[in-house]
């Protein structure tokens, strides 16, 4: 499932094209768990998108390839794995919740209760377009796939496997370190075994931070208990509007605006990486991060003459009016209170009015003062 903050349209790519920048040839996305197809927001990249989707459901991959109309996108059947998982975390231990100290409570959720009550095959209906479930007999690591297919650069990895996400990452350790990966979106479980190789958010986060990635967004999904079901968020038996946190969609990026980044992680920052990362930031609703990387690298890579144009396209409206980046920042520095929520702004104005009413001599004699003070008191209590 895509992050909730993605943008459906991109402005920076258009600006880069208009300026004649040639650095971004393609942005390659590897999508592990691609049932249903590459997520729609990636189409915002237009002809810059190149994507490979992986899924173990044979008929779904066949369907996706048959209906696909983008020559830069393809789908591969198979289980994406980590070859040495059993060596580090034997399946006998993984399958023993007591020995592995596993605190997972998913089986006690209203989601599971609903699927049992309706005799609903979630994999068949939700991931396999209602077709009979036939799994691939192919198993491979992303590291091996990329090497075998002589792929030179990987820009983004999306992983959503419903329970095997950390092993996919472990099997991609080489490409994460050597193929220029700029970001990842990973489905994470908050609960599970305390083992260092368990598929949990804590292990995934520690692994990626050690590789130079920072958590930029986290969409948390709640699942109510079967004992007292809460309303579902969507028209599927999955996350609910209330209940304990179970899963999350975690988005990680390299923070290349950090002036010490190259020394910390031995990752060379190039012009194409900076521009690609700015586009990926914008795609995931992180316009502020896109602005920061452009401000940090414009002198180094020689696009200072075009900087303001780039920043202007990232700048949001202010009170319903389109403003330049320069004007936006000037207004913020002059009065950051304008960025408070509207209710907070109103209360700030009321406090100012109240101080005026209390400070000026002689106002108490005016008939309007008493009702004004009543209004002030009413608003302060809202």
Kindly state the helix (H) or strand (E) to which residue 294 belongs, with its residue range: helix 287-301
Per-residue pLDDT reduced to its tens digit, 337-367: 888 887 665 666 667 766 766 665 555 555 5
Per-residue pLDDT reduced to its tens digit, 31-89: 999 999 999 999 999 999 999 999 999 999 999 999 999 999 999 999 999 999 999 99
Question: Rounded CA gap, 56 and 38, in Å?
Answer: 15
Enter the tokens of residue 293.
Answer: 């990387």
Question: Rounded CA gap, 104 and 334, in Å?
Answer: 50
Packed helices 325-334 and 307-314: angle between N→C axes, nearest 10 degrees = 70
Say if residue 357 is exposed, middle or buried (CB neighbours under 10 Å; 0-12, 13-18, 19+): middle
- Averaged pLDDT, 197-207: 97
* Nearest CA among 218, 166, 162, 223 for reference residue 195: 166
- pLDDT of amino acid 65: 96
Question: Rounded CA gap, 339 and 317, in Å?
Answer: 12
- Averaged pLDDT, 224-253: 95
12-302 CATH, one of 3.40.50.2300, 2.40.50.220, 3.40.50.150, 3.90.79.10: 3.40.50.150
Question: Rounded CA gap, 161 and 79, in Å?
Answer: 10
**Buried/exposed 55-64: b ≥16 CB within 10 Å, e otherwise:** bbbbebbebb
- pLDDT of amino acid 343: 64
- pLDDT of amino acid 104: 94
Enter the tokens of residue 248.
Answer: 């999350």
Q: Does residue 180 carry a pLDDT above 80?
A: yes
Q: Does residue 376 carry a pLDDT above 70?
A: no
């Amino acid at each position: 499932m895509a992050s909730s903050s993605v943008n459906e349209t991109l402005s920076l790519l258009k600006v880069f094209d208009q300026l004649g920048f040639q650095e971004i040839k393609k942005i390659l996305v590897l999508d592990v768990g691609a049932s249903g197809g590459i997520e729609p927001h990636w189409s915002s990249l237009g002809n810059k998108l190149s994507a490979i989707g992986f899924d173990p459901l044979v008929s779904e991959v066949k369907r996706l390839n048959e209906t696909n109309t983008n020559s830069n996108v393809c789908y591969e059947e198979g289980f994406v794995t980590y070859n040495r998982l059993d060596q580090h975390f034997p399946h006998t231990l993984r399958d023993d919740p007591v020995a592995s100290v596993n605190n997972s409570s998913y089986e006690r959720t209203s989601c599971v209760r609903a699927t049992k009550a309706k005799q609903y095959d979630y994999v068949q209906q939700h991931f396999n377009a209602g077709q009979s479930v036939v799994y691939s007999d192919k198993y491979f690591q992303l590291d091996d796939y990329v090497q075998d297919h002589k792929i030179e650069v990987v820009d983004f990895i999306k992983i959503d496997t419903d329970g095997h996400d950390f092993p996919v990452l472990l099997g991609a350790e080489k490409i994460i370190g050597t193929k220029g990966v700029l970001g990842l979106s990973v489905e994470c479980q908050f609960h599970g075994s305390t083992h260092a190789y368990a598929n949990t958010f804590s292990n995934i986060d520690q692994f990626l931070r050690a590789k130079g990635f920072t958590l930029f967004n986290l969409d948390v999904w709640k699942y109510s208990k079967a004992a007292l079901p809460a309303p579902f968020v969507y028209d599927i038996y999955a996350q609910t509007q209330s209940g304990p946190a179970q899963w999350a969609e975690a988005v990680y990026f390299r923070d290349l605006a950090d002036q010490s980044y190259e020394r910390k992680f031995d990752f060379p920052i190039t012009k194409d990486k900076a521009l690609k990362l700015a586009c990926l930031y914008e795609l995931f609703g992180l316009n502020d991060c896109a602005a920061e990387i452009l401000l940090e690298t414009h002198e180094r890579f020689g696009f200072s003459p075009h900087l303001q144009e780039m920043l202007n396209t990232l700048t949001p409206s202010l009170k319903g009016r389109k403003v330049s980046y320069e004007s936006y920042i000037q207004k913020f520095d002059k009065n950051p209170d304008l960025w408070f929520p509207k209710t907070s702004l109103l209360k700030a104005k009321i406090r100012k009015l109240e101080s005026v009413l209390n400070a000026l001599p002689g106002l108490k004699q005016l008939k309007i003062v008493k009702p004004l003070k009543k209004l002030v008191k009413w608003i302060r209590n809202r």
